[in-house]
Amino acid sequence: MSRLTDDSRGQVAVWLTTGDRRHLLEPQPPFQLEPMTQAPPAHIILDETRIDQAIDGFGAALTDSAAWVLTHYLASDAREQLLRALFSPADGIGLSYLRMPIGASDFALHHYTYDDMPPGQRDPELRHFSIAHDEASILPILRRARAINPRLKIMASLLSPPGWMKRRWLPVNPLDGGRLRRDSYDSYARYLLAFARVRGGRGHRSMR
């Protein structure tokens, strides 16, 4: 961390903080900024025939809170204008990639998964699996975005399995740590598979 002093000599005052907390805002010897009299020319060479890596797309995340704001704070015409500006390759910037949290993320209105159970109860057969929570805001925004840009790609991102799948029960905030129980490996795999099957916009389903 550093800042320029108020004098005109270009002196810089420096404070040091390290990640291991051995140094916390400790003053360091100042150093001097000298004017650059001669700068070597910069040469940038672009070889359009060389391909180093492929890019799947550019985009952002569609979280619970973002979808809620788009649904509840924008009129339908304003929301449509914004979605076209974001996702349309012809009328907007053509975002082509979305990260979709599997259940609640740290940007959600409240903590939830797709198979929450009361304290002390478990659901290894996923009989209560449901994405009904997402029908209110997330899925309508996702469906419209994909209609505007049919080439839109979705990356599912898991924050946490349901609390009952963890060694330490976390019914209030399943994102707050905990480790997956060994006897939940199969249920967890089928939980992710169920999400992949229904996330394409087919609505509320259970694993019955």
**Residue 145 within any structural domain of the chain:** yes
Statement to judge: residues 160 and 71 lie in one domain? yes
Crossing angle (nearest 10°) for helices 64-72 and 138-148: 80
Question: Do both 109 and 163 map to the same domain?
Answer: yes
pLDDT tens per residue, range 185-200: 999 999 999 998 876 5
Residue 6 belongs to what domain range?
Answer: 2-32
Same domain for 6 and 66, yes or no, is: no
Supply the pTM of this predicted model.
0.68
Q: 52: Cβ–Cβ under 8 A, 6 or more apart, which residues?
A: none
Q: What is the CATH classification number for the domain harbouring 95?
A: 3.20.20.80
CA atoms within 13 A on the CB side of 77: 0
Do residue 14 and residue 73 come from a single domain?
no
CA end-to-end distance (rounded Å), the chain: 57
85 lies in the same domain as 20? no
21, 95: one domain: no
Give domain status of residue 176, yes or no: yes
Asked if the structure places residue 208 within a domain, the reply is: no
Q: Tell me, what's the pLDDT at 169? A: 67
45, part of any domain: no
Question: What are the tens digits of pLDDT across the range 149-189?
Answer: 999 999 998 888 998 998 876 555 556 677 899 999 999 99
> Is 25 a residue whose pLDDT tops 60?
yes
Radius of gyration of the chain measured on its C-alpha atoms: 25
18 and 63: one domain? no
Report the C-alpha gap between 204 and 189 in whole angstroms. 19
Q: How far is 129 from 102, CA to CA, in rounded Å?
A: 12
Report residue 207 as tokens.
Answer: 């694993």
pLDDT in tens, 136-146: 999 999 999 99
Tell whether 8 and 109 lie within a shared domain: no
Q: Could you tell me if 101 and 166 lie in one domain?
A: yes
Q: Structural domain tally of the chain?
A: 2
Are residues 63 and 23 located together in one domain of the fold?
no
What pLDDT shows up at residue 38?
Answer: 75
The answer to the question of residue 134 being in a domain is yes
